[in-house]
Structure 1
């Protein structure tokens, strides 16, 4: 993911890296993992092993998703807008997005499907999707469908965020023919119009109701920051510190306002959580480094930058790791001794370890291979090579 966070320019011929955004990506993923680890610790408590963690009052840990959405809005617009108005720009943008998002998500979804077929009794309401081929196909194609209980989630529940991401990519790609500023105006105007339609028109079909949720305004916030950055916005250290403090305080206040609710609906979510997330992303838009300079950063910072690279893997694989650690604690008889905070720390550590392995051995190679296969320029070169006449006495390379 580091390449996506590289600036459009270069320092001494080397791509620059928004290393603070990488740190923020790691923080967002860790927030989501911690939120779900709290849930797993609560399940252990329900089975008589220790106490459940106290309600979330520090920050809304589930707000890591909102932080992801704002970062995504910035990254996609900042890196993708250079394709605006170029021949084949839409195809290249979508090819890179497919290569980045699809392989690991499909692989994880297939693993989940295999487990679901083996033990459907563990799925709860999601088990109803197993007998609905259309719902299974929709789960893999990022198309929002409602479960029997009314929640709009694919088979692998975490995919609801990717349904929003895929829609965001499609809307942005559609505007790439309008030039750089036109593409951003199309994106922001289109998403805001959709939110207005969702607020004013009742009874929309499920996909439209899903895509018109005010949470998509967090992509708009990120896109606005990308446009501001391209126009010269470079916050200095005092402003970055101030934005960080305001963003942190905002998340703390959001946790207090939403205490015990486990989430926020409608405009409350982008207002109470998306707003502070946007302040934190703005604070991360200061310094950039090239790869050699990142290698000289303090070890903890380098570690978070590396975890930022693996944040997508961490987001997708952590439910498996959490349950594996939970069951390990139960089978080893350690749950009573470590509950609740020790179990949560172990779950977090196990999730990070699993993500780093999956990122290095699975995600990164699959992304490189599929990007090379799907990139229109590479595809054109392969077609030309295949159609080229074979030289006398030899073969075409």
Structure 2
């Protein structure tokens, strides 16, 4: 899930000239995290194709815990929010501005996707299983749109659109960080990490907590704290040398491979096991990505493949939210065209992933960015990038806003 980003400039820090800067490798990791989650679900779609006679079933064993893209997202989110939002710490109106930026970034696309899912639930409830039952529960339905954890009839704590469970964590993380902005940048990070640690301790020690507290006290929230700590270190000048970055990346990948092997025997990654086995390697990967910041001109000089991955990193939120729809559309297209048996499984899964990426890039550019900019102008009209500057009439405005 990766709503933290640089759409409309809100996820990027600015250099001494006021120009937005990004950490390129972190953007690429955002793309990788979304692709991991999409690949995890593509494997499920390939299994459904096998059930319908397209080919043999996939081996359930995997090289990596692909669902761990969520853990990578959480660490990145902790980093990006402190990296970008920390400049508002201690400023008058900083809390309100930070939350306005987060609402503008997260809400429009998520609500659109949730509304689409609601229409599907009303039209074809047989396709959605337990999620369809939420349509008959107005309280749970409202909670789904308000990022409030609520239990489904089967007991799972998920909103109407199941992938939104990650955003329920993100929203709580934003609220905690906003509450600490009055303490300054370091104080905000200390407040955030301390609050998350207390939440986890309460969840571990106190039985029978209400659903929201039980949800928010899951040890997975420590991954946000780890990302925030990395942002503080990066802001203080931590730039690992290239050999160290390569070593951290190798250790991170090896850690994920080991996690896949361990979890294959254990099944569920509950409690502290998930942040330890999967979150730990994710922290190493994000640490490996902490190179120097680059402005738009420097990014434009990068090889086209790298620029493409940076663009997909920008669209990672759209990719995370939309890939289930794209995967199913490609799956059904393969079946109707009679191509599923010939392409099953790997070529078919690759097409599903490519279709998801293409849809995400299009929606990010045509829907997500315009909506984010429009809502941000309304919620925070005083933001520097929303101000109208006088320019000579013959010279059109140039350059990307994000």
Classify the TM-score, shorter chain: over 0.9
Pair 1:307-2:312 in alignment: yes
In the alignment, which residue of structure 2 is the partner of 1:288? 293
- What is the CA–CA distance in structure 2 between the aligned matches of 1:196 and 1:112, rounded to whole Å? 35
1:182 aligns with 2:187: yes
Distance in 2 between residues matched to 1:361 and 1:250, nearest whole Å: 38
The answer for the alignment partner of 1:65 in structure 2 is: 70
Structure 1 window deviating more from structure 2 (293-302 vs 346-355): it is: 293-302
Q: Within 5 A, what are the aligned runs for 1:1-397?
A: 1-2=5-6, 3-10=9-16, 14-259=19-264, 263-375=268-380, 377=382
CA displacement 1:89-143 (0-9 Å, x = unmatched) = 0000000000000000000000111111000011111111010011111000000
Q: Mark the runs of 5 or more structure 2 residues left unpaired by the alignment.
A: 388-402
2:396 match? none
Distance 1:38 1:57 in 2: 10
Deviation, 1:339, is 1.0
Greater displacement, 56-65 / 212-221: 56-65
CA distance in 2, matches of 1:160, 1:108: 14
Tell me how far apart the structure 1 counterparts of residues 138 and 151 of structure 2 sit (CA, whole Å): 14
| CA separation of 1:315 and 1:261: change in aligned 2, threshold 3 A | farther
How many angstroms apart in 2 are the aligned matches of 1:355 and 1:263? 30
Partner secondary structure for residue 16 of structure 1: strand
Take 1:267 and 1:15, find their aligned partners in 2: how far apart are those partners?
37
Q: Structure 2 length normalisation: TM-score?
A: 0.91
Aligned length: 380
2:20 is paired with a residue whose SS is: strand
- SS of the equivalent of 1:286 reads coil
The CA deviation string for residues 214-254 of structure 1, in whole angstroms up to 9 with x for no partner, is 00000000011011112221111111111111111101100
Superposed displacement of residue 377, structure 1:
2.5
**CA distance in structure 2 between the partners assigned to 1:242 and 1:282 by the alignment:** 10
Q: CA deviation at 1:329?
A: 1.1
| Cα distance between partner residues in 2 of 1:25 and 1:140 | 24
1:242-272 CA-to-partner distances (Å, cap 9, x unmatched) read: 1111111101100111127665111011000
Q: Once the 2 structures are TM-superposed, how far is the Cα of residue 376 of structure 1 from its aligned partner?
A: 5.7
Structure 1 unaligned spans of 5+: 383-397
Max Rg structure: 1
* C-alpha deviation, 1:279, in angstroms: 0.6
CA RMSD between the two structures: 1.7
Paired residues of 2:11 and 2:81 also in contact (CA < 8 A): no
Q: CA deviation at 1:46?
A: 1.5
- Contact 1:56/1:260 (<8 A) preserved: no
Q: Name the SS of the counterpart of 1:234 in structure 2.
A: coil
**Counterpart in the other structure of 2:390:** none
Query: Per-residue deviation at 1:194?
Result: 0.3
CA deviations 1:347-382 (Å, max 9, x no partner) are 001101110110010000000000110016369x99
Per-residue Cα deviation, 1:331-359 (whole angstroms, up to 9, x for no partner): 11111111111211110011011101100
Distance 2:34 2:220 in 1: 18
CA contact (8 A) 2:10 2:101 kept: no
* Contact 2:89 2:184 survives alignment (8 Å): yes
TM-score, normalized by length of structure 1? 0.93
